[in-house]
Chains A and B, each alone.
Chain A
Amino acid sequence: MNSVAYSNIMRFILLVGLQVSILNHINFFGYINPYVYILFIILFPVKNNRLLFIFLSFLVGLTIDIFSDSGGIHAAACVSIAYARPVILKFCFGTVYEYQSIKFNTVEFSSKFIYITLMTVIHHFILFSLEIFNSSIIILTLQKTLFSSIFTIILCVMITIIFSRKSK
């Protein structure tokens, strides 16, 4: 239990540090930034206190917000995907989720990919709608969502592959 808490605290600090020091300043083609810090929410242990999980997601979002002077948009998006995660997990992993706790290292790649994609797209859509806050330029919102999502998904999948521990 302690090692789980420890590894999640480390993940929190490392992902937030990576996000604010490097990834927020990539600005690929002028506006595309990957938001890899949501890996913290994606990889959070499934069998765990849901209240704590939602609160930690809020905290992660708020930390990013303070660093990037963006009000509460990251916090709102993070809380939403944290709340919606059980539904998405059930959709992606089906019975595996219902009967035993998922180890993200051992599940099939395709369902893991769908899971990451869904979480990312929902997060980015809420994020950019709140950021732009103007329904008359919804095309810009969708465009930013699409391109940033692609970037985030690629990076997230790569990071999960590189850092996955081979379980026996």
Chain B
Amino acid sequence: MKIYWELFSVFFRMGAITFGGGYAMLPILQREVVDARGWCTNEELADYYAIGQCTPGIIAVNTATFIGFKLKGVPGALLATYGVVAPSFVIIGIIAALLQNFAQYAVVQNAFAGIRVVVAVLIFNAVCKLYKTSVIDKLTLAVFIAVAALAYFLDVSPVLFVVAAAAAGIAVHVGKEARK
């Protein structure tokens, strides 16, 4: 029984102290999960991250699910996952409640207009970083430009782009192998 509680509480603490999501969490995971508890090795952790990055969902959540599942199957996966997201639920719930009460003040609206400028820069920086790992040849460049332009000007669900890009990726990748 103790291991279940430990799984939940370790991931709860991680969710409460890491700002900025997945990548910020890696050094803490290495210390708490690999060094202190031996729940997995550094190599396994790197594997989980690599897969977490290219499977749907949030990386921190995927990693928690992996480690929980490895230790205690599906119940372990559920406990680790809900452990890592529980602090967000509490903290963001409080902030959302406060913001709703303050949002009508002019000074708050002005502050958020300034914040949006910062957010635009932060997204720009994030896209530059993602661009380096995802756009690796002419074809991926074409996909990037086409999706960015179409998504901006057309009013269609992002799901369509993800499904179409997956299909195109399979066709090209498998086709390349056939020619070899």
Bind each other = no
Give A contacts to B, CB under 8 Å.
Answer: none
Give B contacts to A, CB under 8 Å.
Answer: none
